[in-house]
Chain A
Amino acid sequence: MIQPLHNPPLLAVRDLCVEFATRRGPVTAVRAVSLQVAKGETLGVVGESGSGKSVTSYAVMRILDRAGRIVSGAIEFGGINLNGADEPTMSDLRGREISMIFQNPRAALNPIRPVGKQIEDVLIRHAQATHDQARAKAIAALEHVRIRHAAQRYHAYPFELSGGMCQRVVIAIALACRPQLLIADEPTTGLDVTTQRAVMELVRDLTRSDGMSTLLITHDLGLAGEYCDRIVVMEQGQVVEQQDTRALFTTPAHPYTQRLIRSTPHAARTIRDLLPEDLRLPQPPAASPAGTGTPLLEVRNLVKVFDPPGGLLQRLKSRGKSAAGTFRAVDGISFGITRGESVGLVGESGCGKSTTSAMIMRLLDATSGSILFKGQELTAVPAGEFARSPLRRELQMVFQDPHESLNPRATAAQAIADPLLRLDGMSGAAQIRARVERLAAQVGLPLDLLDRLPHQLSGGQKARVGIARAIATHPELLILDEPTAALDVSVQAVVLNLLSDLRAEFGMSYLFVSHDLEVVRLMCKRVIVMRAGRMVEEGLTEQVLSAPEADYTKELLAAIPRPAHLLHRVSHTKVARA
């Protein structure tokens, strides 16, 4: 463990203030932020969206966009004041002494330049290679980030590489000149958990072996806890706390840190643990509606095959090649849900979980297989005509992105009233309004927000509108498609509790689709793990998570970032670490 105070810091930020010019005047994004990174240290900067953590790192690099401006403060790097440095000096430092990697790696690479050339550009710029050696050095850099067949990959364009591979290339660019400081801005957001782990371990190994310092910017406290020596917690442009990682998790001082740690699902034993004590409601009475335990949904051998894209010509060409272009998104899965049960459906992106839920919801026609709901065959009615089916009101869904799932032109009240009008045939403005207000109250949406448009609501409020709309017709089965993926953890905690209470109150069954095993652990009794359109494991959540049978499940579990300091708190799930 490095003792930062005994070494002169590599990077010292003092009282940094950053402003953005907006149409309504300047907005302060970062106020009086001070932090230090010692040589060889990994510092985590953790905060929710809008906390100013990324802006701080852009200010250090002096790559704020046009509207942004450093108002005051000092940024000292190896004895140079970066805030006062001129552009040529900064340009020399960037990429050579301080490098940066970004989220969304595919967009971070020039789409029309071979990746090898992009590495060469950096090497040549910082005189790390002559034009003759550049190519060999670029290939070596690709090998350094563990890309196989580096000599061939040198010619690849970003669109030909996977997201994880692109992030490796971005890392190769950042580390090409062996900088002293690497700033990683949400480097794994948007990547699958297994890729996420591979990328983070790569960053850790490479920076450690070269004695680099790292500034890891992330919203994920678990990630920071596993990889960082010290953690800075930011909220609304300010640093609220900074401590050694272990101390931060064991004795968090600031209430915001306490809340953040609490909202992170790793530590929680029950869903209530996610909430701060003052917000905790009494545990709802266990749901026991009539008929609990009887089968509600029965999925058998469900298959969805997508045709290859393209026109007639392509299809004629691919004909006879034994369906080479077709893609089996869902490849014969079978499972059941009983009344009042909550089942988790887990897998990485592209595993077919969203396609499965779209088919059950009758938004998409299945290629083959059957979906029995209360004994009736759902596939008998085409998806396009299901809107008129009496079963429509029994099957509802909460969507992944609360913003995108609300019509930008409809107020919250109109969104909630839509199913009442169309499915319950309600009429009379006063009657509908009363019903909408009751639903809003049930999901904890303040009534004065009902006449607002979606863009005037916060993420959590929009999530509540989406939930109110989904439960408006009292459906028996609710599919939750990553309902909290787009939300900050503290909002996620509240929404998960709300969902859990509503299920108890109305006796609904949930199919909870998620990539996050920790959330599924809290929300679901049973879990189904999917990969490449097939089910790899199914069972009681506790059992699957503590003693997984399939290798893939083990891999998924091992990939979850889990700070060692939290392990004692989750001892009831004896997780097999890879």
Chain B
Amino acid sequence: MGPLTIVFARCLQAIPTVFGIVVVTFLLTRALPGDPAAYFAGASATAESIAEIRAKLGLDQSLPVQFWTYLKDLSSGDLGQSISTGQPVAAELLRRLPASLELTLTALLLSVAIAIPLGVLAAVRQDSWIDQLCRLVVTAGVSLPTFFTGLLLIYVLYFLLGLAPAPLGRLDLLHVTPPQVTGFLVLDALIAREWATAWSAARQLALPSITLALFTLAPLARMTRAAMLQALASEYLRTARAAGLSRGRVLMVYAFRNALLPIVTTLGMVFSFSLGANVLVEKVFAWPGIGSYALEALVVSDYAAVQGFVLSMAVLFVLVNLAIDIVYTLIDPRMRIEG
């Protein structure tokens, strides 16, 4: 099978998953105890407004009919209206998505850049100080609640040392938001050549992304170390050593490339975790992403918004998994024959 066929096959395989997600998000609102119309109407609704909404949303019809309507709305990109802002949910989510993505991707990049070298070194120099450091990072990382790390960092770096700016969003009030190109403020400011703005945005981004990175560091470093150790103990590595291959080649081409397979898989898990942790970090740092949006919606029981948030997060995750699957297939020839 050629690479294109594989990519296509993987995309086809993602379709049932997306369908499952749509079914679950639909069921979450319609099949659970409680009156969905009341949720959709919001906290301050009267009996009449609820009845009106029920009719308007088609909740008086049978479940399959409702599901069909839901599917039709989804296919036209309609996630419903937010009751608190009156705006279409899809538009609001799209507007806030770049902020969340900027945070998540920066954090992920940061943690990959630290975790993988750390895990590799820990495995290569087993029981050395770097291995102990890795062990410490891993144990601390899985035990620290994200929101707590964030608060600690704020207290130390903002309140005590004054190094970090106030944890109040993406940009302080002194700077004007640069024209949107990528939606990532730091990049946009750089493109617009507004260096001061870029610096300010980067300073704002630093603490939340470090918080998130600390959280994702642990599983990645642990898996890197374990996968590397397994590869180092493998029989093919012994063959490579017995053939006199140089240490660098043995480590990089023989051990690391094989270790990469489980690492890539873990990356998917880590992404899932960080999408969840994002919500917490956004709350701590008042980051105006979709997590904050969902939290505002939760407070006022704005259900269309919450539903839209859950759905879009899941779809985002499916896309990431799809990308990871494709990367995996390209690295591992064994995956290519299983259709």
A–B direct contact (CB < 8 Å): yes
Write the residues of chain A forming the contact surface with B, with a CB cutoff of 8 angstroms: 61, 63, 65-66, 87, 90-96, 99-100, 102, 104, 107-113, 121-122, 125-126, 157, 159, 170, 173-174, 310, 313-314
Which among B244, B246, B257 has the greatest number of chain A C-beta atoms within 10 A?
B244
A36 to B236, CA, bound (A): 28
Find the B residue at minimum CB distance from A97: B244
Task: Using A112-B332, A112-B333, A121-B249 as known contacts, say yes or no to A170 and B239 having CB atoms under 8 A apart.
Answer: yes
**6 further interface pairs, Cβ-Cβ under 8 Å (given A61-B242, A96-B244, A157-B334):** A66-B126, A95-B242, A102-B238, A102-B242, A111-B258, A157-B333
**Cβ–Cβ < 8 Å partners of A108 in chain B:** 235-236, 238-239
0/1 per residue, B317-339, Cβ < 8 Å to A? 00000000000000111100011
The 0/1 profile, CB within 8 Å of A marked 1, for residues 211-241 of chain B is: 0000000000000000000000111101111
Complex-state Cα separation, A335 to B126, whole angstroms? 58
CB distance from A416 to the nearest CB of B (A): 37
Q: A181 CA to B191 CA in the complex, in Å?
A: 63
B246 near A111 (CB under 8 angstroms)?
no
Could you tell me if A159 and B334 are in contact, using CB atoms closer than 8 angstroms?
yes
Give the residue of B235, B244, B254, B257 whose beta carbon is less than 8 angstroms from that of A94.
Answer: B244
- The answer to whether B244 touches A93 (Cβ under 8 A) is yes
List B residues 237-293 near A (Cβ within 8 Å): 238-247, 249, 253-254, 257-258, 261
Name which of B238, B254, B258 has the most chain A CB atoms within 10 A of its CB.
B238
- CB nearest to B331 among chain A residues: A112
Contacts of B334 in A (CB 8 A): 111-112, 157, 159
B37 to chain A, nearest CB (A): 39
Residue among B236, B258, B334 having the largest count of chain A Cβ atoms under 10 Å: B236
Q: How far is the CA of A185 from the CA of B338 in the complex (A)?
A: 33
Measured CB to CB, the closest approach of chain B to A145, in angstroms, equals 15
The 3 closest A-B pairs by CB, nearest first: A95-B244, A94-B244, A95-B243
Chain B residue total in the interface (Cβ 8 A): 27
Given that A102-B235, A314-B339 are known contacts, is A110 also in contact with B254, CB under 8 Å in the complex?
Answer: yes
- Once the chains bind, are B244 and A173 in contact (CB under 8 Å)? no
Q: Are B339 and A99 in contact (CB-based, < 8 A)?
A: no
Show 25 A/B contacts (Cβ-Cβ < 8 Å), sorted by A: A63-B238, A63-B242, A66-B126, A87-B247, A91-B244, A91-B246, A94-B241, A94-B242, A95-B244, A96-B244, A107-B235, A109-B239, A110-B253, A111-B236, A111-B258, A112-B258, A112-B334, A113-B254, A121-B240, A121-B245, A122-B243, A122-B245, A173-B243, A310-B339, A313-B339
Whether the Cβ atoms of B332 and A99 lie closer than 8 Å is: no
Measured between beta carbons, the chain B residues less than 8 angstroms from A125 are 243-246, 249
What's the nearest-Cβ distance from chain B to residue A320, in Å?
A: 17
Q: How far is the CA of A113 from the CA of B257 in the complex (A)?
A: 9
Closest B residue to A311 by beta carbon equals B339
Q: What is the distance, in angstroms, from A87's C-beta to the closest C-beta of chain B?
A: 8
CA distance A552 to B12 in the complex (A): 47
Complex CA–CA separation, A111 to B239 (angstroms): 12
Contact of B235 among A104, A112, A314 (CB under 8 A): A104
> Which residues of B approach A to under 8 Å, CB–CB?
126, 233-236, 238-247, 249, 253-254, 257-258, 261, 331-334, 338-339
Of chain A, the residue at the smallest CB distance from B334 is A159
Point out the residues of chain A lying under 8 angstroms from B239, CB to CB: 100, 102, 108-110, 170, 173
* A112 near B257: Cβ-Cβ < 8 Å: yes
Residues of B near A66 (CB, < 8 A) are: 126
Residues of B within 8 A of A109 (CB): 236, 239
Nearest CB on B from A412, distance (A): 32
What residue in chain A is nearest B242 (Cβ atoms)?
Answer: A100
Do B333 and A91 touch across chains, with their CB atoms under 8 A apart? no
| B244 cross-chain contacts in A, Cβ below 8 A | 90-96, 122, 125-126
Q: Which residues of B contact A173 (CB under 8 A)?
A: 239, 243
A159 to B337, CA, bound (A): 10
Q: Is the CB of B243 within 8 A of A94?
A: yes
Give bound CA distance, A109 to B237, whole Å: 8
Q: Give CA–CA (A280, B190) in the complex, Å.
A: 90
Q: How far is the CB of B301 from chain A (nearest CB, A)?
A: 41
Asked if residues A65 and B233 are in contact (CB atoms below 8 Å), the reply is yes
- Find chain A residues with CB under 8 A from B339 CB: 310, 313-314
Q: From residue A357, how far is it (CB to closest CB) to chain B in Å?
A: 30
List of A residues within 8 angstroms of B247 by Cβ: 87, 91
Minimum distance in angstroms from B153 CB to a CB of chain A: 38
Residues of B within 8 A of A100 (CB): 239, 242
Instruction: Decide if A63 touches B243 in the complex (CB within 8 Å).
Output: no
Instruction: With CB as the reference atom, state the residue of chain A lying closest to B255.
Output: A110
Determine how close the nearest CB of chain A comes to the CB of B193; give it in whole angstroms: 44
- Distance between A276 CB and nearest chain B CB, rounded to angstroms: 36
Query: Contacts A104-B235, A107-B236; is A95 near B333 (CB within 8 Å)?
Result: no
Q: Are A110 and B236 in contact (CB under 8 A)?
A: yes
Task: Tell me the nearest residue of chain B to A170, going by C-beta.
Answer: B239
Known: A108-B236, A112-B332. A99 touches B242 (CB 8 A): yes
The CA of A109 and the CA of B254, in the complex, are separated in Å by 10
Residues of B within 8 A of A95 (CB): 242-245
How far, in Å, is B30 (CB) from chain A's closest CB? 28
**Considering the chains assembled together, what is the distance between the CA atoms of A66 and B253 in angstroms?**
21
State the Cβ distance, B335 to closest chain A Cβ, in Å: 10
The answer to whether A107 and B234 touch (CB under 8 A), given A92-B244, A96-B244, is yes
Q: Is the Cβ of A121 less than 8 Å from the Cβ of B333?
A: no
Q: Chain A residues with Cβ under 8 A from B238's Cβ?
A: 63, 102, 108
CA distance A113 to B332 in the complex (A): 9
CA distance A94 to B126 in the complex (A): 24
B328 → A minimal CB distance (Å): 11
Compute how far the CA of A428 lies from the CA of B39 in the bound complex, rounded to whole angstroms: 65
Query: Chain A residue with minimal CB distance to B338?
Result: A310
Interchain CA distance A174-B244 in the complex, whole Å: 10
The reply to whether B258 and A110 contact each other, CB–CB distance below 8 Å, is yes
State in angstroms the CA–CA spacing of A93 and B244 once bound together. Answer: 7
